[in-house]
Structure 1
Amino acid sequence: MRRSRPLSEQDRSLWAAFARHIKPLPGRAMPVAPLAPTITPPPAPVVVVAPMPPSRPAPPAPVAIGAQPAGLDARRWKELRRGRLRPERTLDLHGRFAQEAHGAFHAFMAGAMADGLRCVCIITGKGSGEGGVLRRELPHWLNGPGLRGHVLAVAHPHRANTGSVHILLRRVRV
């Protein structure tokens, strides 16, 4: 047989406050109710202000095709935008499925960064109607967490040719 623990004073006062609203059965008397329950509020939490951790560098702003990024001088941007900055390597994704193109793109970019290339060209094709799937997906791939910090600027080499982009990569600091 299990022993029940005795009720605390607070438990008794809570029960009495509840029982006060109950009508007793015929022939039974209402027990004498203690005073209204006195519930003490819990103590206020102690707020400890920890020292600020060392600040981390803010993530770079998303790259947009055809928008001059901060930190790139006007002359270099003009060369990239007008196609005068020649790409050192080209990847043609035209006609590939998105999943295959995604893998090829990341392998190509990893190789370009490992070789210390400065400018590369990606050909997605113009697509039909609103534009191709690859053309729409490329900005998302460029802004991915593993690649965004390495991409400095992206532009179409000519206004009429929206099926390819030149990507200017950040210099590798040694």
Structure 2
Amino acid sequence: MPRPDKVAGDWFPAPARARARRGLTEAERALWTLYTARAQVAPLPGKALAPLPQPAAPPPVPAPATTPSAPAAKPKPALPHRGVELQIGHAPPGLDARRWKSLRRGETRPERTLDLHGRRAQDAHAAVRRFLHEAQSDGVRCVAIVTGKGSIGQEPGVLRRELPHWLNAPELRHLLLGAAHYAAGNPGAVVLLLRRPKGPRG
């Protein structure tokens, strides 16, 4: 007989507890799907195979940052004299000997004359620019500029000293072919041979 202190459950082992069903992980599901696709496994009636996993799209590549480009510098127009310094009393390159000799000897007579006596340097500089541009525009070939020996309140000879610098500035140098003193004993007056203006004269 069984002992009274034993219950029936102690004589027979209790049925094993059902294991909790664990679902497939994403990796296992993908592996199984690939296997069934390659092995051509047919699904059971009423069942369908899981679709093949699609590869993840690569992340978009960010566009490179663009920096605003600096505006292109405007090209400077080339000057006909190509930077050759004009020296008063010296034959310039490109001018034929006959024309230079005529200018240096005073045989080429100036058609217009600008007298700078009594002008301050700043006023004289503006007058020279205006005078030469107008003369070249009008087709004048030879002009004279009288600097003198200075005026009251100025350093003696300041205009005579500054005139060569003004003539060699880019705004005036391309207008000139040659420069000579009006006479050997008169350095206070300069004669200038001008280039012909471009295009037909109006």
TM tier, smaller: 0.5 to 0.7
Pairing of 1:69-84 with structure 2 (within 5 A): 69-84=92-107
Runs of 4 or more, structure 1, over 6 Å off, are 55-58
* Separation (CA, whole Å) in 2 of partners of 1:115 and 1:147: 15
RMSD (Å), alpha carbons: 2.2
C-alpha displacement at 1:124, in angstroms?
A: 0.2
| SS of 2:119 mapped into structure 1 | coil
> In structure 1, which of residues 122, 129, 137 is the aligned counterpart of residue 145 of structure 2?
122
Q: Which of the pair has more CA radius of gyration? A: 2
* Residue aligning to 2:159: 134
Identify which of 30, 50, 62 aligns with 2:85.
62
Q: Percent identity?
A: 60
Shift of 1:169: 0.6
Please give the residue correspondences for 1:144-163 in structure 2 after superposition, counting only pairs within 5 Å.
Answer: 144-163=169-188
Alignment pair present for 1:93 and 2:119: no
Matched residue SS, 2:178: strand
Deviation at 1:126, TM superposition (A): 2.9
Q: Do residues 106 (structure 1) and 106 (structure 2) align? A: no
Q: Which runs of 5+ in 2 are unaligned?
A: 1-77
Query: How far 1:172 moved relative to its partner?
Result: 2.1
Residue 115 of structure 2 contacts residue 147 of structure 2 at CA under 8 Å; is this kept in 1? yes
Long gaps (5+) in structure 1: 1-54
Query: What is the distance in 2 between the residues matched to 1:64 and 1:123?
Result: 17
Task: Report Cα offsets for 1:47-96 as digits up to 9, x if no partner.
Answer: xxxxxxxx997723010100100111111111111111001100000121
SS of alignment partner, residue 65 of structure 1: coil
Q: Across the two proteins, how many residue pairs are aligned to each other?
A: 119
Q: Secondary structure at the match of 1:67?
A: coil
Q: Higher relative contact order at CA 8 Å, sep ≥6: structure 1 or structure 2?
A: 1
Residue identity matched to 1:72? L
TM-score scaled by structure 2? 0.55
Does the CA contact (< 8 Å) of 2:81 and 2:174 recur in 1? no
Equivalent runs, 1:27-42 vs 2, <5 Å = none
